[in-house]
Structures are given as C-alpha cells and as structure tokens.
Structure 1
C-alpha cells in the first residue's frame, strides 16, 4: 500500500509539473500570437515527440522527457550585417552565433518578413518573454493564497504543548532539571498541556507572536486566562527574568543569540491556522524573499551537494532539489500518516513552490533564460533612445545572437549543476517526516 501511495504521489506531482510547464509556455504563445509573431511549435517536454497535432499554423505536442518545454518563434535573432544569414565560419564562437541565427529563420515562409520576433518593438518582446515566468508566478500566488486562506498554515499557536518543570537558561543547552532549579512559573501557576491561552493580563490574545511578546515584556505578577474543558479559568503566575533565545521578528529564533526577558515556562503547540488575505499576502512576501535568498545562495551550496552526492556528507533540508528529488518528495507526501486534506495541501504547496522557483530562475538576466532575452530587449530600447537623444543614426536591433557563446557556457554550467543535483537526489535524497 505504501509503494502504491508513493507511486500515486509521484504521478500527481508529474501531472502538476507538466501543467506548470504548459502554463508557462502558454504565456509565451498567447502574447506572441497577440503581437502577430508566427509560432510553428508549442511543445511540453524535450526529446522524442509522443503526441502532436497541428492547429492552424502551430504544431502542439508532448515530448518524452518532462523536464521543460518551449515554443519556437520565427526570427528570434536579426540577420547578419548584410541583411542575410552569414556564411558558415570556421571559428567555433562565430559558428555558435551563425547556428543560432540560422535556427531563428528555419521554416521562414513568404510573408513572414513582417512576423519575425526581432522586428517587434522592444516592449512587445519584453512582454512575450516575461509572460512565461509571469504565468508561473500567477499560478504560485493563486495556489498559495488558495491553500493559506482555505486550509491554513502550520504555525505555533496559543495552545500549550508542554509545560516546563523548572527554569533553565537557554544557553545551558539542556532540557532536564537539576536539583536546586527554580520551578517554572507556568508549572507553579497550574498551567497544563492542552490549555488554550485566550488572554494575558486581561488582554485578549489570539496569536502566538503577540502572546510571546507580552510574556517577554512582563516580569512579576500576571494573570493568564486559559480555556480548559470548555470553560475559561484565570491563573495567577509570577514571571521571572531568564535568558531566552533571541527572536528574528518573524516567529523564528536566532541561533546562538540570547536576551534577558520575562519567562513563563511552556512550549506552544503547533497547528494548522487559517490565514486572512493580509496574512496570506505577508506569507507570500516571506516566501518570495526566501526564494530570492535561496537562489543567491545556490553557488555556496555546491560543495555540500558534492559531498552528499559523492561523499558521506549529510543532505541538508534546505539543499537544492531537482525534478527527481521533488517528485520523490511528492511521493513521500502521500505516504505520510496524516489526514488526506493535509496531504493535498502539502502537494499543492510543493507545486506552488516549484512554480515560484521557475519564475525566479527564469528571470535571471542570462541567456538562454527568458531573463536574458528581456535584458537584450531592454538594452536595445536604451541604446535607441540614447541615439535619438544625441541625434545619432538608429543602431538597429540588438543582436542577441552574438551572446550565444556566453549562453552556451551558461547552459553548460546549468547542465552540470542539474546533473549534480540529480545524482544527489538519487543517492542521498532530501526526505520529509
């Protein structure tokens, strides 16, 4: 049964992956057609074609390897200086440029001269290239907001998970009490696991962040109103000063840093809490920030990935994952002993996270990514405006094809990184519990 659920989870994730890719390419396709650019192909996947059908002037299809997708537009790069495709050069770098230029003019038909990608104004090319990643962002936001507002988010609550027996300084790095330790104020006041704290010093409280702040700001007598067995009960405690972990302002703790603050002595329970629209937007902002930080930190994670793939290093929970690793996690989600709605929410979060990563990654200003073409179009716009400002001749379209040698180097780095992640995902995968 576990194996069957694992396979089902992988299949569900792959379906979500294929939809995400198709959704991305739909953004490129729809805007390209909107601006009159001819698109001969719209494909989901790479490699051999499994299924295709031609509708109008575009062939739509699915390929065997679900690791990406593409649309093929006529005239992605401008012709050479003579207005034609340049003759083949013996220089390998020049050859890369000419190969890219030649591919951009494949299937050129009479009448296509006015339907080439490079002939469109820079702002239109920016829209076409941005539309793909933007579709992933829309999908990620829709899923995140939908799940957060209808299902909720796992967070610390005002419910009491465990009551401390004694006062222990956070820097002591121990959990058991020793003889002579002062009893915890919560224990002395009669606080019990399962209690829900609804008020502190008479002020109603409904979230852990506010309660934590009130406790830390209080040293001395305090009243704690709890909900127990369906009735409210007021407890009296005397909070003391203790060394506690410093908070980061977002509900987490700063490792190795401590502050002196009021101490009650209990651990809050975690639970699924529905989020309001404002709270959901705030969560989305945090996810976006974490995504950007993770993208910037990718190079620094390569040594650990290498150790995890070819050595005996541990695979961190924040380690980069590829499609194989994410599919494996998707399979594990369906094997967890949790309610089905939790499994569905986790799977949706996984697909949404994948789409957010696609957006951020594709916005890097590097060829062959969408962000590289966007950067080229923006540079062309700036160059032409400067020429007009100084009454110089129009410099014409920016020849992105000249950057193809750099694009091949970037693509090579991406391929090597992808292979490293793939090996790590197979021999030392990230797991969930």
Structure 2
C-alpha cells in the first residue's frame, strides 16, 4: 500500500507539473493571439509527439517528455539579412554577393546563428510580416513574454489560498491533548516515568486532558502559543491558570519549572534554551486563515526565491560537493523535478491523515510554480526574461532615436545572442543533470 501511495504522489506531481506548464504556455498563447501574432504550434512537453490536433492555424499537441512546453510564434526575431536581401536579389547570372551579404561566416557559433535565422525565417514564410512577434509594440511583446510566468504566479496564489483559507493551517489550540506524568530530561530516549522522576507541574496542578485554557497569569489567551509564551517566561513563579472543564471555569495554580527545551524562534530556527516548563501538549486542528494569507505567503516565498536565485550555480556546486563527500543535503537547497517528485511520493506515503497529505502536496505544487515564475524571469535567453530584456532594449533604442529625431533603428536581432543562449542552455543542462543525480543518490531528507 505504501508503494502504491508513493506512486500516486509522484503521478499527482507529474500531472500538476503538466497543468502548470500548460497554463504557462496559455499565458503566452492568449495575448499573442489577441495581438494578432500567428501561432503555429502549442505544445506541452518535448520529444516525440503523442497527440496533436490542428484548430485553425495552430497545432495543439502533447509530447512524450512533460518537462516543459512551448508555442511557436511567427517572427520571434526580425528576418535575417539574407531574407530581406532576397526581395532585391540580382537577376540570374549577376554576382551573388548581395544575396549572401547577411550570411554568417565560418565557425561553430556562426553556424548556429545562421541556423537560428533560417528557422526563424521559416516561421515568416507566406506571411505579410504584420503578424510577426517582432513587429509588435514593445509593451505588447513584454505582455506576451510575461504572460507565462504570471500564470505560474497566479496558479501558486490560488494553490496557497486553497491551503491557507480552504483547508486551513494546523494550529495548536487552547484545548489540552495530554499531560505528562513526570519531567524527562531534554533529548532523553526514556518513554516511561521512573519512580524517582519528578512529577510535571501540570500534573501536580491538576490540569487534565480536555481542559480548555482560558487565561494564564491574568492574561486571556486564544492560542496555545500565547499560553506557552507566558509559561516559558515565568520559571519558578506560581501562575493562576483558568481552565474550562465540563462547561465550568476553575482556577488552578501552576509553578513552571526551569528546564531545557527546544524553542522555535521567529525565523523558524529551533534552538535549545532554559525556559519555564509545565508538561502539557495541545490538540491541533485546521484553522482557516483570512483569504489574503495565501497570496501573501506566495508573494513572500517568491521574494525569498528571487533573493537566492542568483546563488543557484554556487548552491548546485555545494549540492555536488555534498553528494561526493556523502554529506546530508541542505534542505533549503535546489531540487530537480526528480527530487520534487520524490518528495511528493514520500508525502503521499506517510502515515498521516489524508487532509494533511493533500495540504502538503498542494503547497509543494504551489512552491514549484513559484520557482517556475522566478526562474523564467531570469534575464537570459532562452528564458522569458531574456526575451523581455530584448524587447525593452529595442524600445530604448527606438525611444532614443525618436528623442534625437533620427530614423527608427532596425529591430534588435536577438539571433546574434545565440552563442550566449547556447552557453546558458548548456549550463542549465549541466546543473539540471547534477541535481537529478543528487536527488537519486543523496536525496533531501525532509520527512525523516
């Protein structure tokens, strides 16, 4: 049953990723068509085509590897010099210099540039040029390229809203779940009280499971965290604790003892400190948060991811070093799709209530969409952020020429950046390969 649950978790993650990719590409497709760009293909995945269907001028399909997607727009770049020279080509028998004026010279990267130009020219074949992407105003090009990442952000916001406001956040309530009979040393593996172990202050005071804490030391509390804060700050001082039991309130006197316990700070870090301790635990239940909590959490996480994205090469290097040295992975380090899928499987296979697992899986998928949103905005080709930078640079050139009353400049030919794009792609492939290998050999341990 555990293996089946693991596989279900992986499948759900893959389906969720495919939906995220599909919505990302729709974010490009809809504004592109709205602005009149001819879109030849809308594909989810890479590799061999499993299914496709042509609707109007666009072929919609699914490919074998659901690790990405794309839409094929006419004229992502302006026509190559060869293509524009063809219109004024010399008559038969005349020198061919004019027709080859824009052809790249020899060399590997020059050949790549030429191939990119030829592929781009094919998307312009049979078009009057007015339906090409490069002909759009700058603001429309930015909207088209920004649409994909924004769809991932919107999906993440929706998923986090479901988790926070639809399901709720597990919160310790003021209802007592259990009372320790005795006090055990911090970090002890002892599971039962010995005769000489001191009784817990909560047991001595008569606190019982099912009691609802109303106030501590004269302060009304509405959460177990609030009650704990008062108790931890008052070791060896007797406190009046008002509890509701069987519908009636009664006051109990509790003297927290000084003990070493793990304390979670405001930043989430867990440290050991000497605090007041009484020996009771609270029941937990899902508490639905205000509707804005989910979006706020999504935006906060996007900011955190953006803050560390520039460290990606260094973090991948550290991941490789930990893998080779056999050290534990940084739980906050980068993951590949394989690693995220593995976590999804482990979450689905845990012995926890179904609602807990559903909430965690939705949060995991939301975090994945946050990563896709931030990653695609990196200002390097072939990522969406790179295309946005090219469009903005084109706009700056045009604005500068207009300011100085000069003729409009030629559109920016981003095919010249193909060598840079090639280097970026190779770097992404290498980093992706390292992360996949690490996720198989030295996976992140989040669930123990």
Partner Cα separation in structure 1 for residue 75 and residue 383 of structure 2: 17
Partner Cα separation in structure 2 for residue 292 and residue 404 of structure 1: 25
Partner Cα separation in structure 2 for residue 196 and residue 411 of structure 1: 59
Q: Does 1:370 align with 2:384?
A: yes
Shift of 1:41: 0.7
Q: What is residue 142 of structure 2 aligned with on the other side?
A: 126
Answer whether contact 2:156 2:298 (CA < 8 A) is retained: no
SS at match of 2:39: coil
1:384-407: CA deviations, max 9, x gaps?
A: 323333434433423322222112
Q: What is residue 94 of structure 1 aligned with on the other side?
A: 110
Residue 120 (structure 2) aligned to one of 94, 104, 111:
104
The two structures have a TM-score, normalised by structure 1, of: 0.85
Between the two proteins, the alignment pairs up a number of residues equal to: 426
Q: What is residue 92 of structure 2 aligned with on the other side?
A: none
Change over 3 Å in CA distance of 1:415–1:194 after alignment to 2: farther
Q: What is residue 321 of structure 1 aligned with on the other side?
A: 335
Shift of 1:297: 4.2
Partner Cα separation in structure 2 for residue 423 and residue 231 of structure 1: 60
Partner Cα separation in structure 2 for residue 106 and residue 118 of structure 1: 14
1:228-281: CA deviations, max 9, x gaps?
A: 56654432235688888786435x24658x6x8x73445754553322224334
Partner Cα separation in structure 2 for residue 4 and residue 245 of structure 1: 36
Change over 3 Å in CA distance of 1:78–1:229 after alignment to 2: farther
SS at match of 1:105: helix
Partner Cα separation in structure 2 for residue 254 and residue 30 of structure 1: 47
SS at match of 2:67: strand
Answer whether contact 1:38 1:112 (CA < 8 A) is retained: no
Shift of 1:63: 0.6
Answer whether contact 1:158 1:268 (CA < 8 A) is retained: no
Q: What is residue 99 of structure 2 aligned with on the other side?
A: none
Change over 3 Å in CA distance of 1:181–1:286 after alignment to 2: farther
Residue 292 (structure 1) aligned to one of 299, 306, 329:
306
Q: What is residue 139 of structure 1 aligned with on the other side?
A: 155
Partner Cα separation in structure 2 for residue 212 and residue 294 of structure 1: 34
Answer whether contact 1:245 1:253 (CA < 8 A) is retained: no
- Unaligned 5+ runs, structure 2: 86-101
SS at match of 1:54: strand
Shift of 1:324: 1.6
Q: What is residue 68 of structure 2 aligned with on the other side?
A: 68
Change over 3 Å in CA distance of 1:119–1:420 after alignment to 2: same
SS at match of 1:84: helix
The two structures have a TM-score, normalised by structure 2, of: 0.82
The alignment yields a C-alpha RMSD, in angstroms, of 3.4
Q: Does 1:222 align with 2:236?
A: no
Residue 350 (structure 1) aligned to one of 364, 371, 376:
364
Bigger shift: residues 181-190 or 69-78 = 181-190
Shift of 1:67: 0.7
Q: Which structure 2 residues correspond to residues 386-397 of structure 1 after superposition, within 5 A? A: 386-397=400-411
Shift of 1:120: 0.5
Max Rg structure: 2
SS at match of 1:114: coil
Q: What is residue 334 of structure 1 aligned with on the other side?
A: 348
Partner Cα separation in structure 2 for residue 341 and residue 381 of structure 1: 50
SS at match of 2:42: strand
Partner Cα separation in structure 2 for residue 396 and residue 40 of structure 1: 25
- Unaligned 5+ runs, structure 1: none
SS at match of 2:293: helix
Change over 3 Å in CA distance of 1:240–1:337 after alignment to 2: closer
Q: What is residue 263 of structure 1 aligned with on the other side?
A: 276
